Amino acid sequence: MAGYHSNIALEGKGEIDSYTFHCLNCISGEAELVTVHGDLVKKSKSDQEIRETNFFTAPGMIDLQINGINGVDFNSPDLTAESLISTVSYLLSKGVTSFFPTIITNSPAEIKKYLSIIDEACLLSPLVSGCIKGIHLEGPFISPEDGARGAHEAKYISPPDWDLFCDFQRAACGRIKIITIAPEYKNSQEFIKKCYDQGVFVSIGHSLAGSESVANAVKAGAKLCTHLGNAIPAMLPRHNNIIWELLAQDELYITIIADGIHLPDAFLKSVIKLKKEKAILVSDATMFAGMPAGEYTTHIGGEVVVDGKGKVSMKKSSEFLAGAAKDLLQCVQVLLDKKIVTLNDAWSMASENVITLLGKNAEYDQDWVLFQVIDSKIVIRGVVKNGSLKFFNP
Ligand SMILES: [Zn+2]
pLDDT in tens, 118-134: 999 999 999 999 999 99
Residues ≥6 apart with Cβ < 8 Å to 208: 143, 145, 147, 148, 182, 184, 232, 233, 242
The whole-number pLDDT of residue 297 equals 86
The torsion defined by the Cα of 361, 362, 366 and 372, in degrees rounded to 10, comes to 70
pLDDT tier at 13 (50, 70, 90 boundaries)?
A: low
**Which tens digits make up the pLDDT trace of 358-387?**
999 899 999 999 999 999 999 999 999 999
Locate the domains of the chain by residue range: 3-58+365-392, 60-364
- Helix 81-93 to helix 108-124 angle (10° resolution) is 60
Say whether 284 is catalytic.
yes
Q: How far is the CA of 148 from the centre of ligand 1 (A)?
A: 9
Q: How far is the CA of 102 from the centre of ligand 1 (A)?
A: 10
The whole-number pLDDT of residue 64 equals 98
Contact 61/350 with Cβ under 8 angstroms?
Answer: yes
Catalytic residue among 119, 284, 327, 345: 284
Query: What is the rounded distance in angstroms from the CA atom of residue 133 to the CA atom of residue 52?
Result: 36
The whole-number pLDDT of residue 301 equals 58
* CATH 3.40.50.300 given to domain 60-364: no
Contact 43/368 with Cβ under 8 angstroms?
Answer: yes
The whole-number pLDDT of residue 323 equals 85
Is a pLDDT exceeding 90 seen at residue 3? no
Q: What is the 3-state secondary structure (H, E, C) of the chain?
A: CCEEEEEEEECCCEEEEEEEEEEEECCCCCEEEEEEECCEEEEEECCCCCCCCCEEEEECEEEEEECEECCEECCCCCCCHHHHHHHHHHHHHCCEEEEEEEEECCCHHHHHHHHHHHHHHHHHCHHHHHHECCEEEECCCCCCCCCCCCCCCHHHCCCCCHHHHHHHHHHCCCCEEEEEECCCCCCHHHHHHHHHHCCCEEEECCCCCCHHHHHHHHHHCCCEECCCCCCCCCCCCCCCCHHHHHHCCCCCEEEEECCCCCCCHHHHHHHHHHHHHHEEEECCECCCCCCCCEEEECCCCCEEEECCCCEEEECCCCCCEEEECCCHHHHHHHHHHCCCCCHHHHHHHCCHHHHHHHCCCHHHHHCEEEEEEECCEEEEEEEEECCEEEEECC
Q: How far is the CA of 228 from the centre of ligand 1 (A)?
A: 10
Q: How far is the CA of 226 from the centre of ligand 1 (A)?
A: 7
**Which tens digits make up the pLDDT trace of 158-182?**
999 999 999 999 999 999 999 999 9
Is a pLDDT exceeding 70 seen at residue 11? no
The whole-number pLDDT of residue 75 equals 96
Exposure on the CB side of residue 275, measured as CA atoms within 13 A? 28
Query: What is the rounded distance in angstroms from the CA atom of residue 264 to the CA atom of residue 216?
Result: 30
Contact 114/74 with Cβ under 8 angstroms?
Answer: yes
Contact 17/4 with Cβ under 8 angstroms?
Answer: no
- The phi, psi pair for 73, rounded to 5°, reads -110, 120
Instruction: Evaluate the omega torsion of the peptide bond into residue 159 and state whether it is cis, within 30 degrees of 0.
Output: no
pLDDT tier at 1 (50, 70, 90 boundaries)?
A: very low
What is this structure's pTM? Answer: 0.96
The whole-number pLDDT of residue 268 equals 98
Let me know the angle formed at the C-alpha of 266 by 261 and 271, rounded to the nearest 5 degrees.
Answer: 95
pLDDT tier at 313 (50, 70, 90 boundaries)?
A: confident
Let me know the angle formed at the C-alpha of 32 by 27 and 38, rounded to the nearest 5 degrees.
Answer: 120
Task: Say what percent of the chain tops pLDDT 90.
Answer: 84
Quick one: average pLDDT of 284-294? 94
Q: How far is the CA of 231 from the centre of ligand 1 (A)?
A: 6
Quick one: average pLDDT of 54-71? 97
The whole-number pLDDT of residue 157 equals 97
Cβ-in-10-Å burial (0-12, 13-18, 19+) of 100 comes to buried
pLDDT tier at 234 (50, 70, 90 boundaries)?
A: confident
